[in-house]
């Protein structure tokens, strides 16, 4: 899992696609690992990852909890704002339900932090 996680976090498309298919696993430990890696990748390469993700999984992956775990000393608000801005700069992503759901998820997280 660690090697796959590193590939996902560097936006390797085949690794991301495999991990997305594994989001429906019943193995909760494996699920957490896949979701955490995909959440980090969502911040780096939403243009590649978001179209692969089933809509039902978008809110979970459009989160910064893994970012917060990796960077406990940093305020997540700037990261959330940057992720929203990156999505909003992509007309292709914003035209679809996934882009809208992702922005809404990040916006809720920002509201909760105020």
Residues 15-62 have pLDDT tens digits of 999 999 888 877 667 667 778 899 999 999 999 999 999 999 999 999
Please state, in angstroms and as integers, the Cα–Cα distance from residue 89 to each residue in 59, 62, 82, 83, 107, following that order.
19, 16, 11, 10, 16
Q: In this structure, are residues 83 and 61 in contact, taking their beta carbons and an 8 Å threshold?
A: no
How many folded domains does the chain comprise?
1
Question: pTM here?
Answer: 0.89
> Which residues constitute the domain of residue 54?
2-112
Confidence of residue 1 (pLDDT cuts 50, 70, 90): low
């Amino acid at each position: 899992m660690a090697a796959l996680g590193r590939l996902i976090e560097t936006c390797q498309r085949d690794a991301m696609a495999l991990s997305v298919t594994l989001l429906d696993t019943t193995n909760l430990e494996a699920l957490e690992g896949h979701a955490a890696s995909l959440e980090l990748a969502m911040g780096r390469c939403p243009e590649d990852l978001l179209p692969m993700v089933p809509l039902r999984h978008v809110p979970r992956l459009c989160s910064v909890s893994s970012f917060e775990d990796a960077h406990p000393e940093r305020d997540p608000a700037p990261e959330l704002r940057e992720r929203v801005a990156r999505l909003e700069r992509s007309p292709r992503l914003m035209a679809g339900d996934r882009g809208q759901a992702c922005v809404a998820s990040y916006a809720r997280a920002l509201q909760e932090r105020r």
